[in-house]
């Protein structure tokens, strides 16, 4: 059984699919994973590492690097789609809208 994330994203913000090249830094292990952000909202994101298999992780402190900027977060849980992240601080709504609009997918 996969580790499902708990909680929910803000009700007024839909998870819009996107494909943003990013890196996920696992703070404790000093490891950086290449991958993509599959959806992004103010307080959360789904990161899919660029490998065939995803290791189950939960509660790890991480840094999501998008366009050279690090956003501290925590892994809420792991699904077959990737790692659901909860940002330490909500992102700027205009920045999220711009990023998702530029990298929007039909998925």
pLDDT of residue 13: 56
Q: What is the pLDDT of residue 12?
A: 46
Task: Supply the pLDDT for residue 15.
Answer: 81
Given a cut of 70, the residues of the chain with pLDDT beneath it are 1-13, 107
List the domains of the chain with CATH numbers. 17-102 (2.40.10.220)
Tokens, residue 20: 């943003």
Nearest to 2 by CA among 68, 56, 74: 56
* Cα–Cα distance for residue pair 35/4, rounded to 1 Å: 20
pTM (global) more than 0.95: no
The phi, psi pair for 92, rounded to 5°, reads -65, 125
| Closest CA relative to residue 78, chosen from 106, 38, 104, 47 | 47
Cα(first)–Cα(last) distance of the chain, in Å?
24
Note the pLDDT of residue 11: 47
């Amino acid at each position: 059984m996969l580790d499902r994330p708990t909680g929910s994203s803000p009700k007024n913000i839909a998870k819009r699919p996107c494909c943003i090249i990013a890196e996920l830094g696992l703070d404790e292990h000093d490891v950086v994973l290449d991958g993509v952000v599959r959806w992004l909202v103010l307080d959360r994101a789904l990161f899919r590492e660029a490998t065939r298999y995803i290791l189950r992780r939960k509660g790890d402190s991480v840094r999501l690097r998008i366009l050279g900027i690090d956003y501290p977060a925590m892994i809420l849980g792991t699904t077959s789609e990737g790692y659901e992240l909860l940002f330490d601080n909500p992102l700027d709504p205009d920045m999220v809208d711009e990023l998702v609009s530029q990298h929007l997918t039909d998925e």
